Structure 1
Amino acid sequence: MIEPSEKAKRIISDMQAFIRDEIIPLEKKEQLQWGEAHPKAILADVWKRSCELGFYNVMLPEALGGAGLSVVDLCSVKEAAILTGSMLAPHVLGELSGPPRIGHLFKVASEVQVEKFLQPVCRAEKAVCFALTEAEAGSDASAIKTSALREGDHYVLNGAKRYISGAPYADFAVLLAVTGPGQGAGGISAFFVDLKGPDVQIDADYQVMSGGGSHGNIQLDNVRVPAENRIGEEGAGFKLAMGRITLNRLLHCPTMLGMAGLSLNLSLDYARTRTQFGKPIAMFQAVNHMLADMATELLAARSMMYATAALNDAGGDIRTQAPMCKLYASEAAFRIVDRAVQVHGGAGLIRGNPVEWMFRATRMMRILTGTSEIQRNTIAKGILMPA
């Protein structure tokens, strides 16, 4: 198995100690539950403390205050965070509302935008979300209808975004809207939109499978956005949004495989201690075969992910391998967690049990960030019509 660098190993060790000594005790003190909404005040404290210790920005390049890690190292750090078993682990790395969401924008943002939007995120003072998806624009992302009409020094935005991760606690959104009707992807622009401003409404009165509090809809009703908030050139928004899609597909894998690995570890512990008919259930072939299959699939998926990450770090082309990883990791992670629920029996069906939550969360991963069917389309194109 490909190993992370010594720098990444030190970061992982320090991060694990932080999560063990501060974050997990905080979760217990505040009586947080898997799959339930976590108060923004608690999240903000985690963001700030993680930022103070250097973990919040660790995934950024060194020039932006990050650790300058390779993709192999990034996968290792993300996977290790989930494996701690902390429900707030993704927030330690700012994955849901912080620097990883805006790091690539430093190359195109103006000095004013860097100071007003990007730096506050990196200082854990502001939270951000990415708003693309709409009712009729899911897999066909270029079909968005939200409009941005130029009026002097402002754009007037109208429309609705749906299922936006992080929207309930975000201060602003990187939002895509149509500035050139009839131009397809070339008519889409990106904007920084203040979600606390007038005529913006966040609807978070629903729960996705993984629980409440983390997704919301954004309603825009004649929202006036300064022209200086447009990111890059007019019509360049879709290209900007899709520019990192290949790497992002790969970087979603350590989160999924971290959940799979955590569910395996919890299942091993449970199988060793849960007794039936006078002996641990790990002694029954039906159970230990499930554990063996879980470990085997996890090894296969991790090997694929790290091999692809190493290829990327070496300058290789991963346009076909990255969707392969996202496809296989999401499908395998769900199968692994499904078996974890089976091993846990009735205990695995109870809300609040981490394997019950991971069952729902990994099921979502086969749809979010590009469905398995979209990944197969991309893979087929790559093997049938290689560049």
Structure 2
Amino acid sequence: MTTATHPDLASLRERLNAYLNEELIPFEKSAGIAYEDKLSRDFAKTIWKRSRELGFYGLQLPPELGGLGLSVRDLAVLKADVAASGAVLFPHVLGDWGGPSRIGNLVKYASPYQLEHYMLPVARGEKGACFAMTETQSGSDAASIQTRAVRDGDDYIITGHKHYITASAFADFAVVMCVTDPDAGAQGISAILVDLDAPGVSLTYDYLPMTGQHVDADIHFDNVRVPRANLIGEEGSGFKIAMARVNVNRLLHCPNMIGLARLCLRLSLEYAQQRRQFGGPISRFQAIQHMLADMATGLYACEGMVLAAAQKADEGGDVRMEGAMCKLFVSEKCFEIADKAVQIHGNVGVTKNHPVEFAFRRLRLYRILTGTSEIQRNTIAKAILA
């Protein structure tokens, strides 16, 4: 079924940009909030709840969960706007870090109990969630996970270790991918909701990504008892659920990259017209003009392919290949745009925590997250050779 552009998209964009520029960014500046500050889960929830009050949080969720059922295409437009704003807290505004983006694909599999105790609190900004699949020896090879869930009466006993789990620092519970049938391969993997304050669960923060942001942690499960009512869908359906989420998730990472690249281009245009060398602005030099031209052209290509892939997803099409193509091209092209922005800014561009310097680091990270460029190429090659 075709999902049309939401009739109020223009109004949503206008209201969202007003919130970002007139409320959130001024608040960040007055509070002295910087990219690498360690923020508490309670603080994050204040941003989630404010976004919810204004009607921005969980727009992609169905109306029965308080959303608008926003299309993938329209959500991509809004996500790019938020990232392009320059707000330090931009990942919290639409729920990327712990919010609806973590549970959006799971809602259709959730039981009434799971909706009431997990999904609805996330939609309301009251709880945070994370998706726990990656392990130290199981990154791109998702089917090789080792975390076990063994039945014990009406419970599961979970043992294992999840590694580098995004948004776990802000999460109240995790969607944990577990092996329930070790002899069934990928068909033996199940998805189970686990409260992170349950006995036997612990989080460790032994590393920091190159962005310096305190978002990720390892989650350890030591004989954690979880009710069987927390199983999402059927036993053995977890890998299929996860892959369906990953395909769209890869695509929806791209607007964040595009937004950061838009920010880099905007700041570079401003800087090139203000920075004076040899008697005039550096924007008059052809070398600078060509870099700006390449940045704008690359950004246009990224925007076009993401919107096209999102439209296909909204029409019910399989976007496994297109999502991989977008993740590959956009992550590499937007990093190139950030690299040129650093070059144009000169010493300013290599100053720690300048917006351009931070975007450079963040965009480099995106070439690894949700599957490396090499994994994307494998997916694309498999599709076109089939």
For the criterion TM > 0.5, the same-fold answer is: yes
Take 2:17 and 2:143, find their aligned partners in 1: how far apart are those partners? 40
Shift of 1:260: 0.7
Bigger Cα displacement from structure 2, 36-45 vs 263-272: 36-45
TM-score under structure 2 length normalisation: 0.95
Q: Does 1:278 align with 2:296?
A: no
Q: Counterpart of 2:61 in 1: which secondary structure?
A: coil
Q: Which residue of 2 aligns with 1:264?
A: 265
Q: Which amino acid aligns with 2:214?
A: G
Q: Counterpart of 1:82 in 2: which secondary structure?
A: helix
Shift of 1:343: 0.9
Shift of 1:87: 1.5
Percent identity for Structure 1 against Structure 2: 51
Shift of 1:278: 2.4
Bigger Cα displacement from structure 2, 34-43 vs 83-92: 34-43
Q: Which amino acid aligns with 2:349?
A: G
Q: Which amino acid aligns with 1:142?
A: A
Shift of 1:315: 4.6
Bigger Cα displacement from structure 2, 28-37 vs 12-21: 28-37
Q: Which residue of 1 aligns with 2:186?
A: 185
Shift of 1:311: 3.3
1:304-331 per-residue CA deviation (whole Å, 9 max, x = no partner) reads 1122223333454433222111110011
Q: Counterpart of 1:262 in 2: which secondary structure?
A: helix
Q: Which amino acid aligns with 1:328?
A: F
Shift of 1:378: 1.1
Take 1:206 and 1:197, find their aligned partners in 2: how far apart are those partners? 23
Q: Which residue of 2 aligns with 1:150?
A: 151
Q: Which amino acid aligns with 1:265?
A: R
Please list, as runs of the form range in 1=range in 2, the aligned pairs for 1:1-387 lying within 5 A after superposition.
Answer: 5-385=6-386
Bigger Cα displacement from structure 2, 133-142 vs 250-259: 250-259
Take 1:70 and 1:123, find their aligned partners in 2: how far apart are those partners? 20
Take 1:277 and 1:205, find their aligned partners in 2: how far apart are those partners? 49
Q: Counterpart of 1:349 in 2: which secondary structure?
A: coil
Shift of 1:154: 1.5
Give the count of matched residue pairs: 383
Q: Counterpart of 1:201 in 2: which secondary structure?
A: strand
Native 8 Å contact 1:134 1:144 kept in 2 = yes
- Structure 1 residues 198, 317: closer, same or farther in 2, change over 3 A? closer
Take 1:316 and 1:238, find their aligned partners in 2: how far apart are those partners? 20
Q: Counterpart of 1:176 in 2: which secondary structure?
A: strand
- Structure 1 residues 269, 38: closer, same or farther in 2, change over 3 A? farther
Take 1:170 and 1:240, find their aligned partners in 2: how far apart are those partners? 20
1:324-344 per-residue CA deviation (whole Å, 9 max, x = no partner) reads 111100110110001111111
Q: Which amino acid aligns with 1:76?
A: V
Shift of 1:31: 0.8
Take 1:18 and 1:90, find their aligned partners in 2: how far apart are those partners? 14
- Structure 1 residues 312, 115: closer, same or farther in 2, change over 3 A? closer
Structure 2: runs of 5 or more not aligned = none
Shift of 1:72: 1.9
Take 1:221 and 1:71, find their aligned partners in 2: how far apart are those partners? 38
TM-score under structure 1 length normalisation: 0.95
